[in-house]
Structure formats: structure tokens, C-alpha cells
């Protein structure tokens, strides 16, 4: 037996005509899980998650091919962006949601990390401190 909780995509934020919701199955027999969910509800992490769902919803509503993408591939995009620590906010240009046709599976969505997203991940991981770019012209010596 399980309870279903529906969470709006972006509470308190004006959404386009289409809204997304997340259905979470909470097993009533496992109190530990329910307790964790209660701790999560209303937290900073929940707000960030709702914001990312809102960005994904906007991207889907603006792209006819993403509207045809499998729901599983769209959830994978959301999970991958969270695992990488990258926002789907199109203004940040950290990553992009790309629709593509996969033979036998139909339209799929895939997360593509931009160079800015890659730089953010490297800095966040402590692998590098900063990135400097310089123009190199014909005849210049590379250092």
C-alpha cells in the first residue's frame, strides 16, 4: 500500500499554461523513508528541484521535438543535471537538452554539457582553480 504526493513544479512562480507535477510514491510501511521525505519537504533542496523541473518544463513547452521525447529520457535528463550539479536554466548555458531520434525507441532527450558547464564541474571538483582563454593567431607561437 502506498500514498501518493503530488508536488507542483514551481510553487509561488508564474508558470506557462502547461504545468508539470512530480508524483512521489511513499511506501507507508517504511516510516524511515517517509521521515526523510518530510525532512526534504520545504527544504532548500526541494526548492532547487522544483526550479529545475520548471526549467525543464519550459524547455519542453518551447520545443515540439522534446514534447515527443519519452518521459523516461526526460527524467534521465533531470537526474543527470542534478548529478553533475548543473542547472537547466537556459540563461546560464551550462547544459542543453537535445532531442534525438533513436531507432526502435523513438524520440529521446539527452543532456549535453556545454564548455561553461564543463568548466563549472572542474572548478567545483577542485581539479582546476580557473580557466584563462587567449586568442592565438596565425604565426603566433603556442605556449
For residue 107, give the C-alpha cell: 524520440
Judged by DSSP in three states, 13 sits in: coil
Q: What is the pLDDT of residue 141?
A: 84
pLDDT digits (tens, 9 = 90+) for 121-131: 999 999 998 88
Q: What is the pLDDT of residue 45?
A: 80
Q: Flag whether pLDDT at 15 surpasses 90.
A: no
pLDDT digits (tens, 9 = 90+) for 36-49: 555 666 778 888 88
pLDDT digits (tens, 9 = 90+) for 21-36: 444 444 454 455 555 5
Cα–Cα dist 10/49, whole Å: 9
Q: What is the pLDDT of residue 6?
A: 41
Q: What is the pLDDT of residue 39?
A: 62
Q: Are 72 and 90 a contacting pair, CB within 8 Å? A: no
Task: Dump strand ranges (E) for the chain.
Answer: 2-8, 21-27, 95-102, 106-113
pLDDT > 70: what percent of the chain?
70
For residue 44, give the C-alpha cell: 532548500
The closest alpha carbon to 116, from 103, 102, 131, 134, belongs to: 131
Work out the burial of residue 34: count CB atoms within 10 Å of its CB; fewer than 13 is exposed, 13-18 middle, 19 or more buried. middle
**Average pLDDT score over residue span 129-141:** 86
pLDDT digits (tens, 9 = 90+) for 68-113: 999 999 999 999 999 999 999 999 999 999 999 999 999 999 999 9
Q: What is the pLDDT of residue 122?
A: 93
Cβ-proximal residues to 61 (8 Å cutoff; 6+ apart), any chain: 16, 17, 18, 67
- Does the pTM surpass 0.85? The reply is no
Amino acid at each position: 500500500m502506498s500514498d501518493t504526493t503530488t508536488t507542483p513544479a514551481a510553487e509561488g512562480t508564474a508558470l506557462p499554461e502547461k504545468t508539470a507535477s512530480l508524483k512521489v510514491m511513499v511506501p507507508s510501511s517504511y516510516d524511515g523513508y517517509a521521515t526523510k521525505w518530510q525532512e526534504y519537504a520545504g527544504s532548500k533542496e526541494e526548492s532547487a528541484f522544483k526550479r529545475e523541473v520548471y526549467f525543464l518544463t519550459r524547455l519542453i513547452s518551447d520545443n515540439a521535438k522534446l514534447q515527443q521525447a519519452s518521459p523516461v529520457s526526460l527524467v534521465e535528463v533531470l537526474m543527470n543535471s542534478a548529478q553533475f550539479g548543473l542547472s537547466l536554466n537556459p540563461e546560464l548555458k551550462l547544459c542543453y537538452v537535445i532531442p534525438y531520434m533513436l531507432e526502435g525507441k523513438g524520440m529521446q532527450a539527452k543532456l549535453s554539457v556545454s564548455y561553461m558547464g564543463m568548466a563549472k564541474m572542474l572548478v567545483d571538483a577542485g581539479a582546476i582553480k580557473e580557466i584563462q582563454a587567449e586568442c592565438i593567431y596565425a604565426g603566433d607561437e603556442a605556449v
